[in-house]
Amino acid sequence: MPDVVAIGETMVLFTPMGEGPLRYIHHFERRIGGAESNVCIGLARLGHSAGWISRLGNDEFGRYVLSAVRGEGVDTSQVTWDDEAPTGVYFKERLPLGGGQVYYYRRGSAASRLSPSHLDPEYIRSAKVLVGSGITPALSRTCRDALQRAVEIARQAGAAFIFDPNLRLKLWPADEARRVLLEFAAQADYVLPGREEAEFLTGCNDPLDAAQAILDLGPKAVVVKIGAEGALVVTAKGAERVPGFPVPRVVDPVGAGDAFAAGFIAGLLEAKGLVDAARLGNACGAFAVTVPGDIEGLPERAEIDRFLTRATPADVVR
């Protein structure tokens, strides 16, 4: 049984091979992307066992996703097939002056039909860590119930629950999103919001104030990801900013938060302190943004160890 279990949707990602509005793009590269499976893959590359719980359409895209995730060393024994709903897809847009968008085609996907009945309680009980994100409860009511049930099982078994809000306002109304995400944050041991997510959840412009407001809900620690500046670790004992690692050029920022989560969780599994775990997360996030795609830049263990033995926050990755 894996040490870390994550629950959520993974889709097929189409990345344009050129820049400009999608209506003018004719060629795409096919990849995979999903917050929870990204974390699992990141952990597997760092030498930890991880399992992914989800549903896929019984179609060619579903088989591609399963093969890709399993090929990265992640346990996929808890992935179930849906004969009636498709595997979700999404497209990235790259604009020459920055910006761009992500276009999702996931409504009614197989993963959105995940429910508590698809969970194996013993599989979750055996884990040391359960990973969830705010994307899963946004997909459907049954997905929300599934994540809630997984949290209850994990907490009863003494496993840590790590929650990344991963705000997606395209999926649900802001008021509902805020309420539900705060409910899950209150049940978490560790909450990993980005700066904007922390502000959205609390109304506090200052990351420290926002983190403190979330901490007051009950987590052991809140770690706010503040981009190139690194991360802010806040506990009942105080706060400490952990500097980030500058990169020569940000190629693709999508997936950096998942890479951070993988590094941070790896640090916890290795009994590092929260600051050292966040430093490992920062390094993994820096690697991730230098390569196109959600998982392609996630570092291998030997690679990240070599980097951290010589790196200071002023160093440049690769």
Which residues neighbour 250 within 8 Å (Cβ) at sequence distance 6 or greater?
289, 290
Q: Is 294 a catalytic residue?
A: no
Tokens of 253: 């920022």
Instruction: Please give the Cα distance from 162 to 100 (Å, whole number).
Output: 30
Residue among 302, 265, 294, 296 at smallest CA distance from 280:
265
Distances (CA, A) of 124 to 121, 132, 187, 211, 284: 5, 12, 16, 28, 26
Instruction: Please give the Cα distance from 158 to 105 (Å, whole number).
Output: 37
Catalytic residue among 75, 252, 258, 294: 258
| Catalytic sites, residue numbers | 258
